[in-house]
Amino acid sequence: MEKSKLHELFKDKSFGEILFDEPMKNHTSFKIGGPADIMIIPNREDDITKSIKFCRENNIRYFVMGNGTNLLVKDTGIRGVVIKISNGFDNIEIQGDKVICQSGALLSKVAKKALKNSLTGFEFASGIPGTIGGAITMNAGAYGGEMKDIVVKVRVLDKNNRVVEFSNEEMDFRYRGSKVVDQGLVVLGAEFKLKNGDFSQIKERMEDLTERRVSKQPLELPSGGSTFKRPEGHFAGKLIEDAGLRGVRFGDAQVSEKHCGFIVNRGEATFEQVLTLIRTIQKIVYDKFNVILEPEIKIIGDD
């Protein structure tokens, strides 16, 4: 659909905040990406369900994102609609040992709320820079924990515009995947079951994990997090380092000197520079070790 017609269609809609020609670099941790024709930032569940239903009924392409922490967007941007579920749709409730969150809630905020209520089990996710929706979608994990370990049920919008709930078992959680990916679902919220614990021990565990992340990961520079999935029997960062690629760069896109599993933006990196670096890493690692590195970051956008 032509951009002018798209803008006209959304001019008077009330799906939350609506932005036109919004630069995606302002919404991704990589700080890379051209404009989205339309960006919707919903405040209520109704905003999400109605906007997606409207897009489906009018055959408008749409993409649902969270905090943009694992996205690499083309410099030409995204045609159609981007629905950003983050601030504004981020309520967190504690009910005994259960935590009930809207999908836009940041993992770090959920972890802090769990700590405040002396609930343990969420510490592993305290430093993951994403939202509940993104974490559920990809079964996010770190330091021995994964979403599947603590999820009770997930509330989603399905392909038929119905709001339904799935249990943990029904979610088909696996390494960096779930039923959300398989069926094109949209996460609206989730319920977690934690355990009562000792405040000081939970706090100490979170501080320890934070220190490990800060000391080992290039958090001081924009990136999309871990660039590649962990290949079976290997670690992506170690393979990249052993291939002699530490610090290699194309323009402002660079293999982090602090952790080779990350590609960082040294300033004004472009999509093409990052993509060239990704492909170069994949080819050299495959040539040297016969291991295929699969991107963990999601590459989106239109030419």
CB-based contact 10:38 (threshold 8 Å):
yes
CA distances from 71 to 14, 56, 148, 248, 297 (A): 27, 23, 22, 21, 6
163 close to 202: Cβ distance less than 8 angstroms: no
Which residue, 212, 287, 218, is CA-closest to 246? 218
Task: State how beta strands 262-265 and 223-226 pair.
Answer: antiparallel
Give catalytic residues, as residue numbers.
176, 226, 296
